[in-house]
């Protein structure tokens, strides 16, 4: 029996239309270094029309890819909305990748045009000649030298000039909701980057999920500060969710250091902000120096990208009165898959325990833990295995790459290892490739790192597997101390001793200036393992 | 370019699975008259499995329709979840319809089974022999006499006996999301009732919309009291939204009078409640008598089904500290289409003005006002015409009936007349068929009724068109006074005189004991017009 419902597709065009028609007076506010510039969604909607007309005139047709090489600002939002809404595909390039990776990714996606921030022109100039498929470059901002882009053989135009010549009216595309709307490449530490193609449907549903009360509860009264870059998994979907809800967007542009961010929170009063733990750690340190800052507008700080140490959450709660909400996801999951809101029925101690996990799946996403033999494991908080996920905003393949090993019976194999409690809370203990297997049992590098980060002298710590004759592998802790702090491995080991099983405690310790990171800011343990193997780390071994 | 996203369908099965797996300890609480019975979603999930196995064993296959003839209670929720999740189609029968209408509807839908509350056995017994397609009747509750159903030629079984014999495990159907999941018939005042078939997709998206911050913001911490019957447009989607969010459900069963409802609010502390204005009017009167009741748990009272008088909203706000949120929709729109949350930027006076409208569309629904010639009208708060809506939870046809006149270029013609303001707020001024056209201009019966309802002596009022020689039509006001009140037509007319245009003020007045209502509780103006035409109303005419 068919339903009688309308077949209205879920599209980015309808998000844009809703934001502009129903919430047209809400604003996008972009940092300029010495102040802010402000536009309403109604104005953004008109500029989206101009951008779409301009791209059409410049030859963008069908599902052509339009790349962005931009900070978090109004113009990036315009590309987010206009490119998919005109039927083309938005491709957010990660400005922090190597030139070689960018060339590979832009070539693999066959990007036809690039929109670039004027401040990023020098960076783009280094790779542009190798971007064979790119025909047109639009440079946002009315300052900046275009000379570095000349001689690349591409048409190089100023974004504002081009938009100024166009009509704000455009007939947005309400096409097939399963068509590609946006792309993002994952930059694993091994192999070529792989592309995920989000559909109109997946972006729409993910935005709705972010607006639900069990998600982030985004609504018109919110003012959202996405610090996570818009070239990382759609800035966790915050820009689309804001447009859908009519929430205001506070855009930090390139002013992403702790001082201007903290100042932006103080003056522009966001209700929700999202960033990786490192940023919040920096912001917390900054508030030690600049204690007059008011963070009371923040009802929620969303934190993800890597495990959030409980000590960081407690410091935010106790010192700033701000709740950090841990969320988990990956590029392949759009990314919001789970959110660590404690169960309503939990007491304070249980609530803290739940908040320190990766959380419960948002409705739409299903999760399971699978053992070595591929069978689903019980939800008992004990059985450890690989996390698999499925749902309408989870990828089922990679763009033009066969990688069947990453999928299992229609579920995505995440490459993460962990367990799920009887209450449904996911705890990730490791990446598959970072697992430490000691005497046949798993040791969680993530839990060791989180416990170490709670020590007052520790800024951060990474734990890797060191080959061991007797146990096959044993943990090695690489620790970054806070400025001026002095502490011994023995003291750190005894700090851990009442928090974790005795046989987990590392014998091998090294103090480093910083932990090597991937282009998306995660610990690069492959580099660390290589440094250790090649004898580049100065390691102390406890008895 | 196809996306790489998984094709995971949006289904009632996935709502059920999520509620049970992620929020299994949240509860459904059903009034028993002298107390409450409580079950967790985990228990409800097991009973859903038993119900599905039982229905399968009793011959329910494919998309067979399973009808319900039930109050708002746990067993009705079980049917809501289990019937669509097993792939069959839930058909909620309106117990307040005439025997003739029920026979027509159940026959048209070809219902195979009926689940009936034991307290409704006598009512069902009157129509059951005529329900030719029905083979099985399941009677919930362990009391009640089944004798009235005997001799009907149907298998009559006790629900609890049948469930008790079954396994709680069932392989739920994650089928085509566009397949029919539930049916509801609209009972217009003219013509045969017409069926709307909700899809899994439409129920899923509607539930998500109810959970968004701009919708009802339903989340795990909520306790939801659906007073609107589950046989009226899915009780506004509250049961599915609660299961999706893990919110608790407080079910009033058949104890729907003001006294037990107010008592339930006091003791069970719902955060959200939904009912038509009449119920809230009754509850308000009741609190005059029983002043010790605590309503402070209610963060939101959702009110719809007919226009909500501002006086009612003000009384709730001022006397009980409770916010009434007006929402608009119809069976054909699942029903939530718009919600009258004031714009965030509005000051207090504007906020009240916005709250007294039918609100702004929730994301997913689009609205437009169309003139007599079919062209969309400007959003200026002035241009009046028929409201048309579209969206993924709006019907695009009726079940096995051709009624093309109700659709226009893919939009549903609502039969409602109104205007949309520049800020996007919809105001409905009339039903098309209840329009009063005086000297070529429209007079809004709804605004006259709302203004009259604000008079301290008026309980409620209905305004209809009376034929008039000079003006073609003039308004006639039928007024129900509060108990013991005495007021003259002249006084009421002068009460209106500073609130509405002078030429709108009725000359014709009648005082009645009650306003005739349709089976779904709306004013039945057709009956009123007939009474007037046939001289059955005692009308006073002012000069």
Q: Answer whether A244 sits within 8 Å of B4, measured CB to CB.
A: no
| Active-site hit among A437, A499, A522, A526 | A437
Q: Answer whether A63 sits within 8 Å of B1, measured CB to CB.
A: yes
Q: What is the three-class DSSP state of B541?
A: strand
Long-range contacts of A466-471 (CB under 8 A, 24+ apart): A466/A508, A466/A532, A468/A438, A471/A438, A471/A439
* CA dist B58 → B109, B172, B479 (Å): 19, 17, 52
Output phi, psi for B463, to 5 deg.
-120, 130
Short-list A278, A270, A206, CA closest to A235? A206
Per-position DSSP letters for B256-302, written without gaps between them: -SHHHHHHHHHHH--SEEEE-HHHHHHHHHHHHH-TT---TT-SEEE
B-contacting residues of A 157-186, CB under 8 Å? 178-181
Contact status, residue B154 vs residue B135, Cβ threshold 8 Å: yes
> Range(s) for CATH 3.40.50.12780 in chain B?
8-22+38-201
Which range, of A166-180, B197-211, B440-454, B504-518, averages the lowest pLDDT?
A: B440-454
Pick the residue from chain B with its C-alpha nearest to A245: B214
> Range(s) for CATH 2.30.38.10 in chain B?
358-432
A-contacting residues of B 241-260, CB under 8 Å? 244-246
Pick the residue from chain A with its C-alpha nearest to B217: A213
- Residue B363 with chain A: CB contacts under 8 Å: 14-15, 18, 22, 208, 211, 244-245
Integer Cα distance of B17 and B42 in angstroms: 10
What are residue B442's DSSP bridge partners?
A: B437
- Residue B396 with chain A: CB contacts under 8 Å: 4-7
Short-list A67, A94, A92, A93, CA closest to A522? A94
What are residue B30's DSSP bridge partners?
A: B37, B251
pLDDT band at residue B229 using 50, 70 and 90 as cut-offs: very high
Integer Cα distance of B162 and B171 in angstroms: 19
* CA dist B352 → B144, B328, B483, B526 (Å): 48, 17, 29, 32
Output phi, psi for B478, to 5 deg.
-105, 120
> Range(s) for CATH 3.40.50.12780 in chain A?
10-24+38-199
| Active-site hit among A133, A186, A212, A518 | A186
Q: How far A171 CA lies from chain B's nearest CA (Å)? A: 16
- This complex has an ipTM of 0.91
B-contacting residues of A 347-386, CB under 8 Å? 360-361, 363-364, 366
Short-list A416, A413, A417, A393, CA closest to A403? A413
Nearest beta carbon to residue B8 from set A345, A360, A390: A390
Could you list the beta-strand ranges (E) of B380-488.
385-390, 407-408, 411-420, 426-431, 436-438, 441-443, 458-468, 472-481
Q: Answer whether B395 sits within 8 Å of A208, measured CB to CB.
A: no
Mention every residue, 6+ apart, whose C-beta is less than 8 A from residue B253: B30, B31, B32, B33, B71, B72, B73
Output phi, psi for B45, to 5 deg.
-60, -40
| Active-site hit among A442, A495, A504, A509 | A442
Integer Cα distance of B153 and B147 in angstroms: 12
Catalytic site residue A526?
no
B-contacting residues of A 392-431, CB under 8 Å? 392-399, 410, 412, 423-424
Query: Would you say residue B519 has pLDDT above 80?
Result: no
Catalytic site residue B112?
no
Question: What is the model's pLDDT at position B188?
Answer: 62
- Residue A211 with chain B: CB contacts under 8 Å: 211-214, 363
* CA dist A193 → A103, A189, A425, B269 (Å): 11, 9, 30, 53
Burial of A349 per CB tally in 10 Å (0-12, 13-18, 19+): exposed
Any A CB within 8 A of B223 CB: no
Cis amide leading into A484 (omega within 30):
no
Q: How far A64 CA lies from chain B's nearest CA (Å)? A: 9
Any B CB within 8 A of A44 CB: no
Any B CB within 8 A of A344 CB: yes
Q: Answer whether A213 sits within 8 Å of B209, measured CB to CB.
A: no
Residue corresponding to tokens 């000590």 = A311
Nearest beta carbon to residue B392 from set A6, A222, A396: A6
Segments of chain A scoring below 50 in pLDDT: none
Q: Answer whether B423 sits within 8 Å of A25, measured CB to CB.
A: yes
Contact status, residue A140 vs residue A115, Cβ threshold 8 Å: yes
Q: Answer whether A344 sits within 8 Å of B391, measured CB to CB.
A: no
Continuous segment of H or E residues that includes residue B362: none
Asked whether the CA dihedral B47, B51, B56, B60 is positive or negative, the reply is: negative
Cα-Cα-Cα-Cα torsion B531, B532, B537, B542, nearest 10 degrees, comes to 160
| Reported CATH class of domain B435-541 | alpha beta
Residue corresponding to tokens 């604000």 = B454
Burial of A30 per CB tally in 10 Å (0-12, 13-18, 19+): buried
Contact status, residue A208 vs residue B209, Cβ threshold 8 Å: yes
> Range(s) for CATH 2.30.38.10 in chain A?
361-434
- Residue A178 with chain B: CB contacts under 8 Å: 2-3, 5, 7
Pick the residue from chain B with its C-alpha nearest to A366: B18
Question: What is the model's pLDDT at position A442?
Answer: 81
- Residue A424 with chain B: CB contacts under 8 Å: 21-22, 24
Query: What are the helix (H) ranges across B419-480?
Result: 445-453
What are residue B369's DSSP bridge partners?
A: B387
Nearest beta carbon to residue B395 from set A6, A205, A394: A6
| Reported CATH class of domain B358-432 | mainly beta
Integer Cα distance of A204 and A234 in angstroms: 12
Q: How far A179 CA lies from chain B's nearest CA (Å)? A: 5
* CA dist A254 → A66, A96, A258, A284, B8 (Å): 21, 13, 12, 20, 38
Query: What are the helix (H) ranges across B454-515?
Result: 489-497
Any A CB within 8 A of B5 CB: yes
Q: How far A285 CA lies from chain B's nearest CA (Å)? A: 33
Q: What is the three-class DSSP state of B359?
A: strand
Short-list A184, A221, A188, CA closest to A206? A184
Question: What is the model's pLDDT at position B13?
Answer: 98
Question: What is the model's pLDDT at position B144?
Answer: 77
Q: For the segment A292-351, what is each residue's pLDDT rounded down to a tens digit?
A: 899 999 999 999 988 888 899 999 999 999 999 999 999 999 999 999 999 999 999 999
> Range(s) for CATH 3.30.300.30 in chain A?
435-541
* CA dist A307 → A155, A323, A382, B147 (Å): 43, 16, 19, 63
Contact status, residue B339 vs residue B271, Cβ threshold 8 Å: no
Fold of A10-24+38-199: Rossmann fold (3.40.50)
Q: What is the mean pLDDT of chain B?
A: 94
Query: Does domain B8-22+38-201 bear CATH number 3.40.50.12780?
Result: yes
Pick the CATH number of A361-434 from 1.10.10.10, 3.20.20.70, 2.30.38.10, 3.10.20.30: 2.30.38.10
Tokens encoding A497:
């001793």
Q: Answer whether B179 sits within 8 Å of A3, measured CB to CB.
A: yes
Q: How many CA atoms lie within 13 A of B316 on its CB side?
A: 25
What end-to-end distance do the CA atoms of chain B give, in Å?
Answer: 71
Nearest beta carbon to residue B4 from set A7, A197, A209: A197
Q: What is the three-class DSSP state of A444?
A: coil
Catalytic site residue A437?
yes
B-contacting residues of A 12-31, CB under 8 Å? 14-15, 17-18, 21-22, 24-26
Q: Percentage helix, strand, coil, to 5, in chain A?
A: 35, 30, 40
| Active-site hit among A332, A388, A447, A460 | A332
Q: Answer whether B205 sits within 8 Å of A201, measured CB to CB.
A: no
Contact status, residue B448 vs residue B382, Cβ threshold 8 Å: no
Any B CB within 8 A of A389 CB: no
Integer Cα distance of B12 and B46 in angstroms: 16
pLDDT band at residue B189 using 50, 70 and 90 as cut-offs: low
Pick the residue from chain B with its C-alpha nearest to A3: B180
pLDDT-above-70 percentage for chain B: 99
Please give the order of strands across the beta sheet that includes B248-251. B36-40, B27-31, B248-251, B223-226, B272-275, B300-303, B324-329, B336-339, B360-361
Query: Would you say residue B174 has pLDDT above 90?
Result: no
Pick the residue from chain A with its C-alpha nearest to B206: A208
Any B CB within 8 A of A528 CB: no
Catalytic site residue B194?
no
Q: Answer whether A197 sits within 8 Å of B2, measured CB to CB.
A: yes
Q: How far A508 CA lies from chain B's nearest CA (Å)? A: 40
Nearest beta carbon to residue B396 from set A7, A219, A222: A7
- Residue A18 with chain B: CB contacts under 8 Å: 361, 363-364, 366
Tokens encoding A121:
């022109």
Q: Answer whether A208 sits within 8 Å of B205, measured CB to CB.
A: yes
Which range, of A427-431, B9-13, B81-85, B385-389, averages the lowest pLDDT?
A: A427-431
Q: Answer whether B201 sits within 8 Å of A3, measured CB to CB.
A: yes
Cis amide leading into A161 (omega within 30):
no
Q: Answer whether A10 sits within 8 Å of B392, measured CB to CB.
A: yes
Output phi, psi for B75, to 5 deg.
-65, -35
Q: Answer whether A15 sits within 8 Å of B218, measured CB to CB.
A: no
């Amino acid at each position: 029996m068919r339903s009688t419902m309308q077949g209205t597709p879920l599209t980015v065009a309808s998000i844009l239309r809703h934001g502009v028609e129903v919430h047209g007076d809400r604003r996008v506010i972009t940092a300029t270094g010495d102040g802010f510039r402000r536009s309403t969604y109604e104005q953004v909607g008109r500029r989206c029309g101009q951008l779409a007309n301009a791209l059409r005139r410049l030859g963008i047709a069908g599902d052509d890819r339009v790349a962005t090489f931009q900070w978090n600002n109004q113009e990036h939002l315009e590309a987010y909305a206009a490119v998919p809404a005109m039927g083309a595909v938005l491709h957010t390039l990660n400005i922090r990748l190597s030139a070689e990776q960018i060339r590979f990714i832009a070539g693999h996606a066959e990007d036809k045009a690039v929109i670039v921030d004027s401040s990023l022109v020098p960076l783009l100039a280094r790779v542009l000649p190798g971007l064979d498929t790119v025909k047109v470059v639009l440079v946002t901002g009315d300052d900046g030298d275009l000379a570095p882009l000349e001689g690349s053989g591409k048409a190089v135009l100023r974004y504002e000039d081009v938009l100024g010549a166009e009509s704000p009216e455009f007939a947005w595309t309400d096409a097939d909701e399963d068509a590609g709307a946006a792309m993002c490449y994952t930059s694993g530490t091994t192999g070529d980057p792989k592309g995920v193609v989000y559909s109109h449907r997946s972006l729409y549903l993910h935005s709705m999920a972010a607006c639900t009360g069990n998600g982030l509860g985004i609504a018109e009264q919110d003012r959202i500060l996405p610090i996570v870059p818009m070239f990382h998994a759609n800035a966790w979907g915050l820009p689309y969710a804001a447009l859908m809800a009519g929430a205001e967007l506070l855009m930090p542009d390139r002013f992403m250091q702790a001082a201007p961010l903290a100042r932006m929170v103080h003056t522009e009063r966001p209700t929700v902000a999202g960033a990786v733990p490192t940023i919040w750690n920096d912001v917390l340190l900054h508030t030690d120096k600049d204690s007059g800052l008011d963070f009371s507008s923040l009802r929620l700080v969303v934190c993800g990208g890597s495990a959030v140490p409980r000590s960081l959450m407690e410091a935010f709660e106790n010192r700033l009165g701000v709740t950090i909400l841990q969320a988990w996801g990956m590029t392949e999951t759009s990314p919001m898959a789970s959110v660590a809101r404690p169960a309503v029925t939990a007491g304070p101690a249980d609530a803290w325990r739940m908040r320190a996990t990766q959380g419960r799946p948002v409705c739409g996403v299903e999760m399971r833990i699978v053992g070595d033999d591929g069978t689903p494991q019980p939800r008992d908080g004990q059985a450890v295995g690989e996390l698999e996920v499925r749902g309408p905003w989870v990828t089922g393949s990679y763009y033009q790459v066969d990688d069947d090993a990453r999928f299992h019976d229609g579920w995505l194999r995440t490459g993460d290892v962990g367990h799920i409690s009887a209450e449904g809370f996911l705890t990730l203990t490791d990446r598959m490739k970072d697992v430490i297997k000691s005497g046949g049992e798993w040791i969680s590098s993530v839990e060791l790192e989180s416990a170490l980060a709670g020590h007052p002298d520790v800024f951060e710590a990474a734990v890797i597997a060191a080959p061991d004759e007797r146990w096959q592998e044993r943990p090695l802790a690489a620790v970054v101390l806070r400025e001026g702090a002095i502490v011994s491995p023995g003291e750190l080991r005894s700090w851990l001793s009442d928090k974790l099983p005795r046989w987990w405690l590392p014998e091998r310790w090294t103090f480093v200036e910083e932990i090597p990171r991937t282009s998306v800011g995660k610990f690069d343990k492959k580099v660390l393992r290589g440094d250790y193997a090649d004898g580049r780390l100065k390691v102390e071994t406890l008895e």
